[in-house]
Chain A
């Protein structure tokens, strides 16, 4: 497991206070990342993201969900509304931190729940336009499985960006609905690989996470932390931002200290700027390479 001594923490903290991190970046600098889509043929959509040493692979599988009781009670209704099902799996080979099985399970669930919260609002994807087969009865459910292959810090950001790219890459086959005489509904799934609905335009409002780590004094926070920096954080705020600068999710985590309300406001402001910039750069790059 990665460990760090007090004097190293002191060195890193002071560097961040003077806006020069251990590897020469400033507080708001993101590392270079490479994105690749469409690697997995059997999935409806996939993407692979590499930020320095952090490597994440995401696959999207679509399945048809039937809503049986129209007049179900509240919670059932919520379950039925969920169009996205997230699973995160950090391979034990990803990092020596992940050797304890129980901790690993907990970590996987934590990440999956955070992503679920990010996509919890119905405005994320226009369900009626893209994911509806028969309104009220049959919908497309997207099972999003993310695998962490290697870890060098900043996992949640990498996961959210890779998921967004995977959704961009997702194609759903066109379905013809045939209602037989006895009110039975059958589907005719088009076999033509060209006859598909692409979700390229559906991801307009899909948000990504920006993780802000507060290190050292209250007012200094960094984005895109390396593994070494993550050992020095006082607290972490993960903020979900979409293209329209709307804030889709906030969660504070892994903090031994609290945050002052002023700092939170500044962090949200920073995250907004950075998030919008990343999404626009990403979209541009994705459009150039279909």
Chain B
């Protein structure tokens, strides 16, 4: 029964006025001319130069050109907006915002788009869809055997279009197509949770991508391609136990989750919503997304006594973003997106 007795909460409307708009600040031009990069290696690295397309990095012969650069007229020129990276003599420019580029060993979350012969096509927010070969998944029951033609006909029982999968990049072929695999018990189909998409450049490479945030009882999977999965810890444990039992005992029968295994309490939903809004907040502020930063936003929102939906309000977003920027610099590694920190 819909609660028409429920008082409708306040509706917020804000009117902009032209005076309130931020004035463009004129940034003084630094030396635009070709800078001779014959200074220390460390200096370039520490200066964290920001490049725009067409900006000259160095003279042609001095460095090897990596991604994001090209030779022109005797100069090495950047072709994307981003930071310079340098490893010895190799110079590359890593873009701030680009489509996800897969590398072997990356852990990602993908969405099945198509079922083809002996493989699935998976959308991972990259330039092309990645392939999940039939031979690269674990068959139900865990048996190791050759895939037969009857397996091929039963692909629909495993993954259907629009399903979410948790997988790892296996190999990159010569023509640029990428194969992923789920050959591990922790990988596979994701069910009964919430999906969220953020720019892939905000995801940091780390040892673990599956985080069980104990303080809130929420499981978070941060795929390196920017696809994020949020679910309730308790429900996922129950679900996993049921699936494993099913695999051991009767894997040849279709898997049907009973209703009580799919239940999520209202409190857990509130926590999941809060985590979801925190991650959106970080994405909007272009800040790196990892469990530490998510928990910071989460705790701050609880300290400010906000409900989950208040985190959608621009005023609160502004407040929390300013708070985060005042935290010590080690936490705010917005610029060092290519560093590999040690995660517990």
Residues of A within 8 A of B (CB): 3-8, 10-11, 14-15, 18-37, 52, 219-221, 228, 266, 269-270, 273-274, 277-278, 281-282, 285-286, 288-289
Contact = CB atoms under 8 A, between A and B. Distances in A.
Contact of A5 (B13, B163, B276): B163
Given A11-B194, A24-B273, A34 B13 contact: yes
Nearest to A266: B2
23 contacts: A3-B111, A4-B162, A7-B164, A15-B269, A18-B266, A18-B269, A23-B276, A23-B277, A23-B308, A24-B273, A25-B312, A27-B3, A30-B11, A32-B312, A34-B15, A35-B13, A35-B16, A37-B15, A221-B2, A273-B4, A282-B13, A285-B14, A289-B15
Contacts of B111: 3, 5
Main secondary structure on A side of the interface with B: mixed
Contacts of A32: 12-14, 312-314
Size category, B interface: 35 or more
A23 B273 contact: yes
Nearest to B274: A24
Nearest to B159: A5
A24 B11 contact: no
Given A34-B16, A228-B195, A282-B13, 10 more contacts: A5-B163, A11-B192, A11-B194, A21-B273, A23-B276, A27-B3, A29-B309, A37-B15, A266-B2, A285-B15
Interface of B: 1-4, 6, 8-9, 11-17, 111, 113, 160-164, 190-195, 262-264, 266, 269-270, 272-274, 276-277, 307-309, 311-314
A10 B2 contact: no
8 tightest A-B CB contacts, nearest first: A24-B308, A24-B273, A24-B309, A7-B191, A36-B16, A289-B15, A5-B162, A25-B309
Nearest to B16: A36
Contacts of B12: 32-33
A35 B2 contact: no
Contact of A219 (B1, B8, B113, B163): B1
B192 to A, nearest CB: 5
B3 A19 contact: yes
A227 B190 CA distance: 21
Contact of B2 (A24, A219, A277): A219
A23 B308 CA distance: 7
Given A220-B2, A266-B4, A273-B8, A20 B15 contact: no
A24 B8 contact: no
A269 B6 CA distance: 13
Nearest to B271: A24
Contacts of B263: 14
B303 to A, nearest CB: 17
A11 B193 contact: yes
Contacts of B17: 36, 289
A174 B272 CA distance: 57
Contacts of A29: 8-9, 309
B11 A277 contact: yes
A140 to B, nearest CB: 27
B312 A5 contact: no
Which one of B16, B113, B164, B276 has the highest number of Cβ atoms from chain A below 10 Å of its Cβ?
Answer: B16
